[in-house]
Structure 1
Amino acid sequence: MRTLHWFRNDLRLQDNPALLAACQQGEVLPVFILDTDEPVRSALGGASRAWLHQSLTALDASLNNNLVMLKGSAQTLIPDLCARYQIEAVTWNRGYEPWTIQRDSGLKAALKANGLSVTSYNGALLFEPWDTVKKDGYPYRVYTPFYKHCMANLATRTPGVLNTARIQMVPHGEQAGLESLALRPKVAWDEAMLMDWTPGEQGAQGRLQHFLATGMGDYREGRDFPAKRSVSGLSAHLHFGEISPHQILASVRAESPADDNQTHFIKELVWREFSYNLLYHFPTLQEKNLQAKFDHFPWETDETFLKAWQTGQTGYPIVDAGMRELRQTGSMHNRVRMIVASFLIKNLKLHWHHGERWFWDCLVDADLASNSASWQWCAGSGADAAPYFRIFNPITQGQRFDPDGAYTRRYVPELKRMPSKYLYEPWACPVEISRAAGVVIGKDYPAPIVEVKASREAALAAFSEMKRRAES
């Protein structure tokens, strides 16, 4: 039997249930389609497109350059390929984004109507969203009971193994190839961004092994300190399906002690599941507040503030370090993500949509479920969200989580000679000391665009106004 396997966010050969099923049926036509029907709001951002280019390069190499790569409407291209190459069956791994579900449902029905066998699989999650619901059938909106439900049912599954030497390929004459997808930017800013990354299945496995050897032992405590790099760095690999959560779970349980570090890491895997669960059950998560009262929040619309935040010119070193790390590397440490999100939403009172969209374009791990759920969590408008009145102080956060300034000075080199005592309040540094450090505030490094205490009070007043409006 000839089977078309449609690669999407499953850019790996191992532990790929849909690909394994296709290979067991006979000859395989491996296909990737950059779907031009995808809505603009869910289409890949610039950083993710650059990563995808490299990931597809790696995948094609692992398939001995047999990957068919096309740009166009999947609803047209897949039936055409099936007819051209006498395909009898189609496989893919499921997506959980609202538009993906709608497209896949229509395409599956059309292919079946043409007499093809079509089967989809779970290649992205530990649990299907429809299986992780409360006893009353309603979705979880609080993480802790969701986590307990998952852990009660979380068995370590042996990852599926594919003998790549025995894959039988359908001969094809498709010539379009990777360059036809036009994923890379015209100005090659992506080369520097991806310098520290290795997109692809091999890179994902290497990243996992490096983390298990050097980061897992300090994960619980070290994960909050951006200079320590005690985090896994696997989020982009997971997003593109270069590694599966089952592979990660199996390796973590087999190769690390069953201690607090392992427990906290698995909790983060389950947070990812929680985000997908929310997106599946609340498909407007990217656009609409889960808590409707936030529809009444009096947001500001200051473009100057937004630009300063985007470019890392707020005058608050830990915030600026995070935003510059994002632009330079396509990533940002998770603790710093929370700090910069709190600053945008609460100190600047700018709608969380601005942050969600900027991260979507700049992150290599821009995942619709995790990005949307995380921004709503920070705003206080989401499920099990941090209360709005929890406002991170960018001064004390820097002092606590980057006390030596190693992370901050790396991305804000203007302050590399600033004494640690004044690093997170450089405007408070005596002029003679500041000048000796080569910094004139307002010239070499910006003055703060808002004052922490005043902006916090304004945010709390706005929160009170929101509640008044919602109740009136």
Structure 2
Amino acid sequence: MSSALVWFRRDLRDFDHAALYHALKNYQQVFCAFVFDADILDALPRRGDRRVEFIHGCVAELDSALRARGGGLIVRHARARDAIPTLAQGLGVDAVLANRDYEPAAQARDSDVAERLRLLGIGFADFKDQVIFEKAEILTQGGGPFSVFTPYKRAWLKTLTDFHLKSYPVDKYASRLAPPPEGERVPDLATLGFDPTNLAELGITPGMMAGRRLFEDFLKRIGRYKARRDFPAVKGVSYLSVHLRFGTVSIRELARAARDAGGEGADTWLSELVWRDFYFQILWHHPRVAGASFRPEYDRVAWDRDPALFAAWCEGCTGYPIVDAAMRQINHSGYMHNRLRMIVASFLTKDLGIDWREGEAYFAEHLNDFDLAANNGGWQWAASTGCDAQPYFRIFNPVTQSERFDPDGTFIRRYLPELAKVPDKYIHAPWTLPPIDQKLAGCVIGTDYPAPVVDHAKARERTLARFAVVKGAAAESAGEA
């Protein structure tokens, strides 16, 4: 009897799953496994990591769903590059199947696993599942990868057909799922060496069912997405990013729903899914971006090293309310609204003059939805070092951004209660509130809330001078966002 092992990674669902479908279709017996990879977990700085708790919940739900189909998960806590070949050999399978990962470290891991399996006489195959288009599927007319988003999007939409959005049905062959060996269970969080976090308090629920509920709720609002997506105080976005990251939802189903819905809101959201593919293909074709500027000449920019300023940014104590509220949001919840990600990234790099890689690393540690491709792409966009990035002379003004996207200070007050009584007129720049009124509001600047750590106008001039090493800033027409 032919048999296979499906290795689940960032695809924690039992439906529309490419590797699982191909395994069930082509093998008579299919085992399923997940590895809590020690190479990843041992590098985490905190024992209370929301992502580990989220993954653990997803794995437990997936195990239950597979058991209901007659299968189940074999779960290991070990180095994946050791555990998968050992497990495959022990089960006596003919092949291991997985969905493709595009990060350099994952590619190296998979190559190692594939070679170890080959030496054991076991096959290895991987499949496209977490993107619509991958690698070299979308190329310029010259045959190279795109580095500008708009023409990439045009080519993406032109290439898209129903074939690319088709589902991989699991039900038809589900009877071929093999139960795990007797006694196999998902280890609890403590056994993995991790502590519970505030996920439940935050209302963040792991798993496929939770992803489905969020998706269905968003579809009711998708028509208003373009108009509402930039305002962090309103319910305008999908909140699906962590589910996309760990594959409890299907990218094909999401893209298909957006395409079929049509209209300004759905088209705008589909464009965000295209951005996601764009950054994946950038990482695939240019893996060096994981540590260096996409545009190599921008590595000549001399960034400042200022631990005190960086700490103020991390802790939400810069004196700029929209920046501080956003940083307190990520510290409290592991989530940050996309507009705020742009604002705080611009502030770190262009107001504080600190290397984008420091901010990228902070986000990588704290974001529930951390994804190397998107995180790197977003930071390099804000720092003007990446592909199709905002021009270096376009520098977000944190006050005008705040006025535009949180006009009455609702979001700011949610995370900065010390500013609760500051009048709307001054909420975006509370240091301009007269001293007597600061006392009346219970918010004395420099005592109850920090004074600005930098002067934006002066910081802006320093940024233009900093980037002159690359482009000659004096010749450019500067503009404020």
The TM-score, its normalising length taken from structure 1, stands at 0.92
Is 1:206 matched up with 2:220?
no
CA drift of 1:60 comes to: 2.0
Which residue of structure 2 lines up, in the alignment, with residue 16 of structure 1? 17
Task: Say if 1:162 and 1:388 are closer, same or farther in 2 by CA, change over 3 A.
Answer: same
CA drift of 1:332 comes to: 0.6
CA distance in 2, matches of 1:182, 1:194: 22
Q: How do 1:395-434 and structure 2 match up within 5 A?
A: 395-434=399-438
Which residue of structure 2 lines up, in the alignment, with residue 234 of structure 1? 240
CA drift of 1:54 comes to: 2.1
Is 1:160 matched up with 2:162?
no
One of 64, 71, 74 as aligned partner of 2:77: 71
CA distance in 2, matches of 1:252, 1:462: 42
Partner SS for 2:272 = helix
CA distance in 1, matches of 2:193, 2:344: 28
Range with greater deviation from structure 2 (328-337 or 433-442): 433-442
Which residue of structure 1 lines up, in the alignment, with residue 257 of structure 2? 251
CA drift of 1:276 comes to: 0.2
CA distance in 2, matches of 1:61, 1:266: 32
CA distance in 1, matches of 2:180, 2:341: 46
CA distance in 2, matches of 1:356, 1:18: 31
Q: How do 1:370-381 and structure 2 match up within 5 A?
A: 370-381=374-385
| Deviation string, structure 1 residues 299-341 (Cα, Å, up to 9, x no partner) | 1111111111011111100001110111111111111110000
Is 1:305 matched up with 2:306?
no
Is 1:276 matched up with 2:283?
no
Is 1:315 matched up with 2:319?
yes
User: Does the CA-based 8 Å contact 2:96-2:122 persist in structure 1?
Assistant: yes
Partner SS for 1:130 = coil
One of 143, 164, 177 as aligned partner of 2:149: 143
CA distance in 2, matches of 1:31, 1:102: 20
CA distance in 2, matches of 1:266, 1:279: 20
Q: Which runs of 5+ in 2 are unaligned?
A: 474-481
Partner SS for 1:284 = helix
Partner SS for 1:92 = strand
Task: Say if 1:345 and 1:184 are closer, same or farther in 2 by CA, change over 3 A.
Answer: farther
Task: Say if 1:41 and 1:383 are closer, same or farther in 2 by CA, change over 3 A.
Answer: farther
Q: Which runs of 5+ in 1 are unaligned?
A: none
CA distance in 1, matches of 2:231, 2:240: 17
User: Does the CA-based 8 Å contact 1:111-1:118 persist in structure 2?
Assistant: yes
CA drift of 1:227 comes to: 1.1
One of 84, 89, 92 as aligned partner of 2:90: 84
CA drift of 1:170 comes to: 3.7
One of 119, 122, 133 as aligned partner of 1:116: 122
Which residue of structure 2 lines up, in the alignment, with residue 332 of structure 1? 336
CA distance in 1, matches of 2:193, 2:209: 21
User: Does the CA-based 8 Å contact 2:50-2:199 persist in structure 1?
Assistant: no
CA distance in 2, matches of 1:250, 1:330: 28
CA distance in 1, matches of 2:7, 2:362: 29
| Deviation string, structure 1 residues 227-278 (Cα, Å, up to 9, x no partner) | 1221111111111111121010122234x3x211111111100000000000
Is 1:102 matched up with 2:111?
no
AA aligned opposite 1:203: A
| Deviation string, structure 1 residues 67-109 (Cα, Å, up to 9, x no partner) | 1221222232222212222212211001011122222223224
Task: Say if 1:147 and 1:39 are closer, same or farther in 2 by CA, change over 3 A.
Answer: farther
User: Does the CA-based 8 Å contact 2:345-2:382 persist in structure 1?
Assistant: yes
Range with greater deviation from structure 2 (107-116 or 123-132): 107-116
AA aligned opposite 1:178: P
User: Does the CA-based 8 Å contact 1:309-1:323 persist in structure 2?
Assistant: yes
CA distance in 2, matches of 1:405, 1:161: 47
Range with greater deviation from structure 2 (163-172 or 400-409): 163-172
User: Does the CA-based 8 Å contact 1:66-1:169 persist in structure 2?
Assistant: yes
CA distance in 2, matches of 1:261, 1:42: 38
AA aligned opposite 1:346: K
Q: How do 1:319-398 and structure 2 match up within 5 A?
A: 319-398=323-402
Partner SS for 2:34 = strand
One of 36, 58, 76 as aligned partner of 1:34: 36
Which residue of structure 1 lines up, in the alignment, with residue 60 of structure 2? 57
Is 1:196 matched up with 2:203?
yes
CA distance in 2, matches of 1:203, 1:76: 32
AA aligned opposite 2:420: K
Partner SS for 2:218 = helix
Tell me the matched-pair count: 464
CA drift of 1:53 comes to: 2.1
AA aligned opposite 1:243: V
User: Does the CA-based 8 Å contact 1:193-1:330 persist in structure 2?
Assistant: no
Q: Percent identity?
A: 37
CA distance in 2, matches of 1:77, 1:50: 21
Task: Say if 1:68 and 1:350 are closer, same or farther in 2 by CA, change over 3 A.
Answer: same
AA aligned opposite 1:20: Y
CA distance in 2, matches of 1:176, 1:374: 39
RMSD across aligned positions (CA): 2.4
CA distance in 2, matches of 1:418, 1:152: 51
User: Does the CA-based 8 Å contact 1:53-1:184 persist in structure 2?
Assistant: no
The TM-score, its normalising length taken from structure 2, stands at 0.91
CA distance in 2, matches of 1:167, 1:400: 56
Partner SS for 1:178 = coil
CA distance in 2, matches of 1:209, 1:315: 39
CA drift of 1:450 comes to: 0.6
Task: Say if 1:232 and 1:88 are closer, same or farther in 2 by CA, change over 3 A.
Answer: same
